[in-house]
Structure 1
């Protein structure tokens, strides 16, 4: 099992590199950087977030998030609004048209994944998804350890 674990770990690193490459290419294509694109993804996936929540998710400072918010607003990808539940707080929101423009670059990628999974057994896909969620948890924990926050 140790050899299989090493092979799987190597494949996960290769997958990570490939995801970085496609993320960099997409971000560059729309005039932002990859971290900005990741932030936009978080806003689309999780809904409005405070600068502190974004900073915590990305391992950045709130000052860096402020500059990121300005770039995303300038590009029409996101906007800031006062939190209706706490007027002292600001929330970042993904712009529907901006996020559609950004993520439409991945349409062919999504379709290729759908096609690939079409040939797979549903139970196998559910197991794979569960494993990937667990792998992501390990990565997040390890990243926090490397940053010295654990």
Structure 2
């Protein structure tokens, strides 16, 4: 076998291992999120939407539905549950041309509950990342950002189909 063929085979094997590891990571994070949601009495989709609001700031329900890939009617149920649970507030947008326009905002006083439940994972991540050089960390950041972009693209493509 030629050295270039052997190198290509090793590269394909490593690429496959990366993809397998990403799928396993996705599964593990999904299970972690499910456990966090259960502790907080939130459905998985509710926790996902709360994370989007917390991460991206206040937004309209329709913008949140687009980000979450949910039907607006489904979003109404999610927001009703989050509001009843004291996780979010809906506020009229005084700047909007449509006086019915609403902005959804996360209530920060509940953040400590969420952070506490993720603290075990955050501690493990800090320990794991301590073993990497700054250059390694920059490579990982680049890889994860590019992987996230690929995921957004794949999701959008499926949503359009």
Same fold (TM over 0.5): yes
Matched, 1:16 2:26: yes
Q: Paired residue for 2:42, among 32, 49, 55? A: 32
Larger of the two Rg values belongs to structure: 2
- Gapped runs of 5+ residues in structure 2? 1-10
Question: For the aligned residues, what is the CA RMSD?
Answer: 1.3
TM-score normalised to structure 1 length: 0.93
Alignment size in residue pairs: 149
Q: Paired residue for 1:62, among 68, 72, 83? A: 72
Matched, 1:42 2:52: yes
Query: Residue 136 of structure 1 corresponds to which residue in structure 2?
Result: 148
Query: Residue 101 of structure 1 corresponds to which residue in structure 2?
Result: 113
CA offsets 1:13-41 (integer angstroms, 9 cap, x no match): 00000010001111011111111111111
Counterparts of 2:82 and 2:108 in 1: how far apart (Å)?
13
SS at match of 2:102: strand
Counterparts of 2:91 and 2:64 in 1: how far apart (Å)?
15
TM-score normalised to structure 2 length: 0.87
